[in-house]
Amino acid sequence: MGDTIRAVLADDHYLVREGTRQLLETSGEVTVVTTVGDADQLLDAVRRLRPDVVVTDIRMPGGAWRQGFEGIDAAHHVRAGHPGVGIVVLSQYSDALFALELFKHGTEGLAYLLKDRVGDLDELLGAIRAVAAGGSVIDPKVVEGLMARHDVRGEPESLTPRERDVLREMAHGRSNGAIARALHLSVSSVEKNVNAIFTKLGLENSGDVHRRVAAVLAYLRP
Amino acid sequence: MRTNLLAALLAAIATAGLVAGTVTAGGPVLSQAAFIAVGLILPVLGRLLAARRPDLPYGWLLLAAAVCFGVGVCGAGLTRVAPGLAAAALVAMVAFYGLSWVYIPLLFPEGRLPSRRWRPVAWLAGIAITLHATGNLLVPFLPGRPFEVNGPVQWAGVFASAAGQFTVWVLGYAVLGGLVLRLRRSEPPERAQYGWMVAGATANQAGIVLGYLFLAGQQGQAVGVIGMVAVLGALPGAIVVAVARHRLLDIRIGLRGSRLLLVFDVRPTVGEVLSSLAPKLEDSPEPVEQLGRLATAVRTGLETRWAAVTLADGRRVVSGAEDGPAALTLPVRGGQGSLECGPRVSGRLSREDRRFLEALAVPAGLAIQSAGLATRLVNAQEAERRRIERNIHDGVQQQLVALIAGIELARATGGGAGTLGHLREQARQTLADLRELAAGIHPSALGQGGLVNAVEERCARLPVPVQVFAGRELRAERFPDEIEGAMYFTVSEAVANALKHAAAARIEVRLARDVGRLGVTVSDDGRGFEVRPGVLGTLTDRLTALGGGLRVESERGKGTRVDAWVPVDG
């Protein structure tokens, strides 16, 4: 990719908006084509500027949107009207409820990240790149929450600790190669684990990262 | 208890007169015993009714008749010993006849007139009985004495007595006719009660006829005995049957356990229901549960199939199975809802039941009021928590996110002293905002230094001159947390409103401590407004819950004055 990724940034808080813009622009990978303060302006900007990705706050008071869900609802609108636009929703809530709300119609091209990820540029850029390519990402903390919920439900645990580590990385939208690097494993070992996970969960194996996230969600969804 | 004693005393007088008169009169012992036994039904019944249902006049009416009868019998016994006293005492017998002839059937079963139309009958009967008695006093007639009339006064007495007696006799038939009419219109179980009363009154009248025949010497001893038993026993006997078999006046006679014990099981009075309800209401902290207990009290008290408490906002708590339209609906005190009840398990709801429900409507209103208050307080607390949560999310949390982004930017770009200084300012601002937020939740000055300190601290942060007046002793005094909290937030809200809405230039806060009362007044010179009910509703609820209150006085262009007070010890 020679070109930079064109992004629209939406956040109602001025300091956050400007801070994130400067941060993304220093990377040299992202061009912020405009910044907006609410969901209505966001939809308008997407219509006019056709960005590659949208990075939006989950909560932006104003307009006739569901209160507290403005970012998620705007994301669904954008995906419905412009399927090529990837969306990263930045959220203050680590509660899985909001992530599941975002992914309720599918996971393709959507990422749910906690807001403190703005302190980790690589992570943020990784998510932006993933959604721009139609992939999918869920914040590891949210996956932890989902896993904890899953454990609380008292169903017999079928995965080994290693498999759970791999599952967490899969939820993060990583390819087998990336998982192998993150966990310091060989690619073939990761492949073995991934196959075991899908067999145990009765899910269809697939190389698509967004479909793998969807599979993980299907497993963890309450 | 006093009514119970009075009833016992009247019954004792009646019994004493009856026994003394019978024994003095002499005669066969068996016959004396039988007379006393039949004569005792009335005072015993009267006493039980008056003691159990002192609110109903009927028991007292029976007792009055019993006393008249006792005095009369005593007079009859005294004829040989003290003729003058006997003649006076015998007049009581006239009153007894009048009462049992007219009033006992007329006022059946509760001791009240069936309708206003019967009022003239009651008055006429009273006059006729008085006439009869006065006439008898003027013409002393004693059994076994020759009957002589001397002079115009005694002739007047004879005419008065005859006219009075005749009128009472006619009225007696009119009342009996009315009773038959009521019988035909009534439904079970009242029908059975009226049936017995009609039978009793008829037997009573037949007994009088037989008695006259006996006195006129036309018939033998047996007729006289039957007549006497009918006159004395028929009405009380009928009432006893109506009570025992048809739950007249909601009194039952039954056997409890294996012991042969007559038990008078009375429907609880309003007082009894209230005194048993109060601790139950105290035990149930949940407002809905309280209303449920209230509905149950109505249902069991009135023995209806179901009862419901409905609130003005449409909420409804039902006790029992609601299976049709309400038989009785009453608004509760304060108009915040209504009490409803279905049909009785047996029979209809009487006027007495309506009165019962009316009496319960007062505590019901209070319970509903406190239930509503509790709900509003909980809602206000929830709203406050949500507000705090939003403030944290939109304020401090966002600032920290911006700070993190800034630090990451500085790290990625190797930010210099300028960038870091800028970030430090941002961190300080975040801390200041966090402090402000915490103070809004619970000011630390309130916990540490007490109410006056906290109020001064709050007012010192305002952009307009505010003066806080408080006594020296009050400054050192501490109150329970909930009182200090309520008063502090009253001041806080009032000064915030004065600034925000009234654009006040000067604000004055006065804290004062009276005997048993802590008050605060916030007045400003702002725009003022038209005071509508419900203004500062959440604060009012909070103060009301503490037993205090809030008053807002305001007028356009003349500023606003908010008075709040709560009760305190000492």
Of A23, A61, A92, the CB nearest to B405: A23
Determine the Cα–Cα distance for residues B309 and A195; give it in Å rounded to an integer: 63
| Residues of chain B contacting A12 with CB distance shorter than 8 Å | 394
Considering its fold, how many domains does chain B have in total?
4
In a domain, B235, yes or no: yes
B361 and B261 within one domain: no
Residue B330 near residue B368 (C-beta atoms within 8 A): no
To the nearest whole Å, the CA of A144 is away from the closest chain B CA by 21
To the nearest whole Å, the CA of A81 is away from the closest chain B CA by 29
In a domain, B445, yes or no: no
Domains of chain A: 5-138 (3.40.50.2300), 142-220 (1.10.10.10)
B549 and B461 within one domain: yes
Strand-pair partners of B467: B508
In a domain, B475, yes or no: yes
Residue B99 near residue B158 (C-beta atoms within 8 A): no
pTM for this model (two decimals): 0.52
- Residue A82's pLDDT band, with cuts at 50, 70 and 90, is very high
Percentage of residues in chain A with pLDDT exceeding 70?
Answer: 92
Cβ distance of B412 and A15 shorter than 8 Å:
no
Last residue of a domain, one of B373, B388, B405: B373
Please check whether residue B88 touches A, CB under 8 A. no
Q: Which residue has the higher pLDDT, B284 or A63?
A: A63
B395 and B512 within one domain: no
Q: How far is CA B243 from the centre of its chain?
A: 25
Please check whether residue A121 touches B, CB under 8 A. yes
The two structure tokens encoding residue B201: 């009154």
pLDDT at residue A76 in the model: 95
Determine the Cα–Cα distance for residues B456 and B131; give it in Å rounded to an integer: 84
Determine the Cα–Cα distance for residues B11 and B136; give it in Å rounded to an integer: 26
B219 pLDDT higher than 80: no
pLDDT at residue A47 in the model: 95
B260 pLDDT higher than 50: no
Percentage of residues in chain A with pLDDT exceeding 90?
Answer: 44
B237 and B169 within one domain: yes
Q: Say how many CA atoms lie within 13 Å of B514 toward its Cβ.
A: 8
| Residues of chain B contacting A26 with CB distance shorter than 8 Å | 409, 412-413
Please state whether B568 falls in left (phi above 0), alpha (psi between -120 and 50) or beta: beta
B290 and B240 within one domain: no
Selected residue of A27, A116, A139 to mutate for chain B interface (largest B Cβ count, 10 A):
A116
Determine the Cα–Cα distance for residues B492 and B339; give it in Å rounded to an integer: 40
Residue B127's alpha-carbon distances to B23, B131, B164, in angstroms, are 33, 6, 8
Cβ distance of B404 and A118 shorter than 8 Å:
yes
Residue B569 near residue B478 (C-beta atoms within 8 A): no
In a domain, B444, yes or no: no
Please check whether residue B415 touches A, CB under 8 A. no
User: How many contacts does A have with B, using Cβ atoms within 8 A?
Assistant: 53
Q: CA nearest B414 in A: which residue?
A: A26
B274 and B203 within one domain: no
**B400: CATH:** 1.10.287
Selected residue of B397, B409, B429 to mutate for chain A interface (largest A Cβ count, 10 A):
B409
This complex has an ipTM of: 0.77
To the nearest whole Å, the CA of A83 is away from the closest chain B CA by 29
pLDDT at residue B248 in the model: 64
CA–CA–CA angle A142, A146, A148 (5° rounding): 115
B356 and B409 within one domain: no
To the nearest whole Å, the CA of A117 is away from the closest chain B CA by 9
B206 and B96 within one domain: yes
Please check whether residue A115 touches B, CB under 8 A. yes
Percentage of residues in chain B with pLDDT exceeding 90?
Answer: 9
Please check whether residue B30 touches A, CB under 8 A. no
In a domain, B322, yes or no: yes
| Residues of chain B contacting A13 with CB distance shorter than 8 Å | 394, 398-399, 401-402
Region A177-201 average pLDDT:
88
- Residue A6's pLDDT band, with cuts at 50, 70 and 90, is very high
Residue B448's alpha-carbon distances to A59, B458, B475, B517, in angstroms, are 37, 14, 12, 22
Domain that holds residue B522: 451-567
pLDDT at residue B153 in the model: 82
To the nearest whole Å, the CA of B394 is away from the closest chain A CA by 8
Of B394, B408, B426, the CB nearest to A118: B408
Helices (H), B306-350: none
**B365: CATH:** 3.30.450.40
B240 and B382 within one domain: no
pLDDT in tens, B41-83: 888 888 888 877 777 788 888 899 999 989 888 888 887 777 7
In a domain, B446, yes or no: no
Please, which residues 336-395 of chain B have a Cβ atom closer than 8 Å to chain A? 393-394
**Closest by CA position to B27, among listed B72, B69, B71, B73:** B73
B523 and B388 within one domain: no
Q: CA nearest A67 in B: which residue?
A: B390
Last residue of a domain, one of B233, B265, B297: B265
Region A188-192 average pLDDT:
91
B258 pLDDT higher than 50: no
Q: CA nearest B386 in A: which residue?
A: A68
**B212: CATH:** 1.20.1070
To the nearest whole Å, the CA of B559 is away from the closest chain A CA by 34
Last residue of a domain, one of B225, B249, B265: B265
Cβ distance of A20 and B399 shorter than 8 Å:
no
Cβ distance of A19 and B405 shorter than 8 Å:
yes
Residue B239 near residue B200 (C-beta atoms within 8 A): yes
**Closest by CA position to B520, among listed B551, B497, B553:** B551
Give the DSSP letter string of B166-203: HHHHHHHHHHHHHHHHHHHH--TTHHHHHHHHHHHHHH
To the nearest whole Å, the CA of B431 is away from the closest chain A CA by 16
pLDDT in tens, B147-191: 677 778 888 888 888 889 889 888 888 888 988 888 888 776 677
The two structure tokens encoding residue A143: 């996956």
To the nearest whole Å, the CA of A114 is away from the closest chain B CA by 10
Dihedral sign of CA atoms B142, B145, B147, B150 in order? negative
Q: Which residue has the higher pLDDT, B262 or B429?
A: B429
Choose the weakest-confidence range: B40-44, B110-114, B212-216, B243-247: B243-247
- Residue B267's pLDDT band, with cuts at 50, 70 and 90, is low
| E strand or H helix that includes residue B56 | none
| Residues of chain A contacting B407 with CB distance shorter than 8 Å | 119
For chain A, give the mean pLDDT.
Answer: 87
B568 pLDDT higher than 60: yes
The two structure tokens encoding residue B517: 């009362």
B363 and B387 within one domain: no
B225 and B127 within one domain: yes
pLDDT in tens, B440-492: 777 777 878 889 988 888 888 788 888 899 988 888 888 988 889 889 989 98
